[in-house]
Chains A and B, each alone.
Chain A
Amino acid sequence: MDVNDSLLLPVVDEDGAPFWEYAARGELRVQACASPACGELRFPPRPCCPHCGSFDSEWRAMSGRGRIWSYVIPHPPLLPAYAEQAPYNAVLVELVDAPRIRLAGNVVASADAPLNSVDPARLRIGAPVRAVFCPAGPRGAVTLVRWLLER
């Protein structure tokens, strides 16, 4: 069985659904206020804008470029699908387009590579990364956003 088949899948809610739908198309988009006077990005997604109160939102395309804000290397005890790949990395990536938007993910050698496919010694805070997309779960039910180290 492929290592990506047995990972936990996101339980998607109404506010978050568009994020995952865009990811399945290979697009990294972030929710933004659609009020012309405001336009602020927000994450995680929610019904209304904390800056102006507008309920109008849109999903704005990001370049997919980011920097590692922080990372951890989890070791067992872990859930079985993760223990098999441990120690692996989990990172928080700050988007270059929107420094206050940070996305959790994994730095991998290629989109569908195992979570431990990059030597942790290569990770550092501030390292540039770019988004890639990996189908996960049975029949690729959900597409996860992952990260490649930029040269």
Chain B
Amino acid sequence: MATLKDATAIAGIGQTAFARRLPESEKTLACRAILVALDDAGIAPSEVDGFASYTMEETDEVEVAKAIGAGDVTFFSKVGYGGGGSCATLGHLAAAVATGQASVGVAWRSRKRGSGPRPWKNTAVQLPTPAQWTRPYGLLRPADEIGMLARRYMHAYGATRDHLFNVALACRNRANQNPDAIMYDRPLTREMYMTSRWISEPLCLFDNCLETDGALACVIVSAKRARDCRQKPVYLHSVAQGLPAQHHGMVNYWNDDPLTGPAWTAARQLWKHADFGPDDIHVAQIYDAFTPLVPLSLEGYGFCGRGEGGAFTEGGALETGGRLPLNTGGGGLSEAYVHGFNLITEGVKQLRGTSTAQVPDAATCLVTAGEGVPTSAVLLRN
């Protein structure tokens, strides 16, 4: 059977500055990040013939291709479900490159979330029909929707706010080491966390990701070609998407066990095609739009058993030197929230050995996309 295992590699990464507010447009930021990534790889823009993005991306491949001076483009795709699509862009490009539909693929994310409009703030926006079952009751924001699962999870398995704090703290501590992170010089304490304002009880301010402007990009080529590029190749070892049976968007309330989210489905597929398992992962970049997504994902991806995700965070497990160093650039909680794409580039930095919170000899990294929504994940190796 044909396999994508290690057939392609990430040859280049690029990013803009991250800030609450950047003056340039999303389109300009996208082009900047992509050109940096191509330069990182040492590949000319005219060689790009594949693009992949995910929904809620306002800059289309048509705009990007003509702006950067791409050649004839023979593959393009757009993955659904917002932050759940970040890693799937790499999977789509890997499949395209491995099967000869394209030779140089670019995935990117550009977002002005810090200064741009927020859908739930605009009353004029017509409600999508699935929202007829939740929004009239004041379940308006993703924080409200995930807070519902978080309270049930805490009730069912004895997870506590201290466990959620452990997640927020690990991300903040790593951001404090990363000069590019929005929270670079802003340490977090337990007292700050426990006394911060509520957003949607049981979630407080520090359980929520940042609102950020910025853009990032990745360049994917065949493994053979990557070995001749400027940077050490980071191989796409396994890729997976996950949309579980009877799933329903972020309000995953209507299947048999709403606490068993898309991570579980993606994980089964991811590990099935991998030469190693959760015990062999040296560092993880787990989608952290909200802190409770981390214990749920730790369970889904098999780092611990059902209900053990909270306890897993104890004893510094997510910190440098712990069992599973997490979100080593600071993640969505403390580096930048660019719909999870910074988790991918941080995974690449770890395997190149260039992270600001480098895990010694890191050779394997799990990167995940948004949990709660139909999701995706990749295993990177060097």
Interface residues of A (CB under 8 A from B): 7-13, 16, 20, 43-44, 50, 69-75, 77-80, 82, 85, 87-88, 90, 92, 100-106, 115, 120, 125, 136, 142, 144
Residue contact B131 to A50, C-beta cutoff 8 Å: no
Residue contact B246 to A90, C-beta cutoff 8 Å: no
Residue contact B136 to A90, C-beta cutoff 8 Å: no
B residues within 8 A CB of A11? 126-129, 131-132
A residues within 8 A CB of B151? 70-72, 125
Interface residues of B (CB under 8 A from A): 120-121, 123, 126-141, 143-144, 147-149, 151-152, 155, 197-203, 246, 248, 251, 253-254, 256, 258
Q: Write the chain A residue with the least CB distance to B123.
A: A79
B residues within 8 A CB of A73? 198, 200-201
A residues within 8 A CB of B140? 8, 74, 78-79, 82
B residues within 8 A CB of A101? 254
User: Could you say which of B120, B133, B203, B246 contacts A50, with CB atoms under 8 Å apart?
Assistant: B246
3 pairs of A and B residues whose beta carbons are closest in the complex: A10-B132, A70-B152, A73-B201
Residue contact B201 to A8, C-beta cutoff 8 Å: no
Q: How many angstroms from the CA of A43 to the CA of B143 in the assembled complex?
A: 23
Residue contact B130 to A44, C-beta cutoff 8 Å: yes
Residue contact B199 to A75, C-beta cutoff 8 Å: yes
B residues within 8 A CB of A82? 138, 140
Q: In the complex, what's the smallest C-beta–C-beta distance from B206 to chain A, in angstroms?
A: 14
User: Could you say which of A7, A87, A102, A142 contacts B254, with CB atoms under 8 Å apart?
Assistant: A102
Q: Given A10-B127, A92-B148, A79 and B120 touching (CB < 8 A)?
A: yes
Q: In the complex, what's the smallest C-beta–C-beta distance from A129 to chain B, in angstroms?
A: 13
6 interchain pairs, CB-CB under 8 A: A8-B140, A73-B200, A82-B140, A92-B152, A100-B256, A106-B137
B residues within 8 A CB of A16? 129, 132-133
User: Could you say which of B136, B202, B251 contacts A9, with CB atoms under 8 Å apart?
Assistant: B136
A residues within 8 A CB of B201? 72-73, 75, 87, 120
Residue contact A69 to B133, C-beta cutoff 8 Å: no
Q: How many angstroms from the CA of A85 to the CA of B128 in the assembled complex?
A: 23
B residues within 8 A CB of A125? 151-152, 155
User: Could you say which of A10, A75, A105 contacts B200, with CB atoms under 8 Å apart?
Assistant: A75
Residue of B120, B129, B197, B246 with highest tally of chain A CB at under 10 A: B129
B residues within 8 A CB of A142? 136
Q: Given A74-B138, A75-B200, A12 and B147 touching (CB < 8 A)?
A: no
Q: Given A72-B148, A88-B138, A102 and B253 touching (CB < 8 A)?
A: yes
Q: How many angstroms from the CA of A7 to the CA of B120 in the assembled complex?
A: 13
Residue contact B136 to A8, C-beta cutoff 8 Å: yes
Q: How many angstroms from the CA of A80 to the CA of B120 in the assembled complex?
A: 11
Q: How many angstroms from the CA of A72 to the CA of B148 in the assembled complex?
A: 6
B residues within 8 A CB of A87? 198, 201
A residues within 8 A CB of B152? 69-70, 92, 125
Residue contact B149 to A70, C-beta cutoff 8 Å: yes
Q: How many angstroms from the CA of A135 to the CA of B345 in the assembled complex?
A: 50
Q: How many angstroms from the CA of A16 to the CA of B128 in the assembled complex?
A: 12
Q: How many angstroms from the CA of A137 to the CA of B278 in the assembled complex?
A: 51
A residues within 8 A CB of B251? 104
Residue contact B148 to A70, C-beta cutoff 8 Å: yes
Q: How many angstroms from the CA of A64 to the CA of B200 in the assembled complex?
A: 27
A residues within 8 A CB of B197? 75
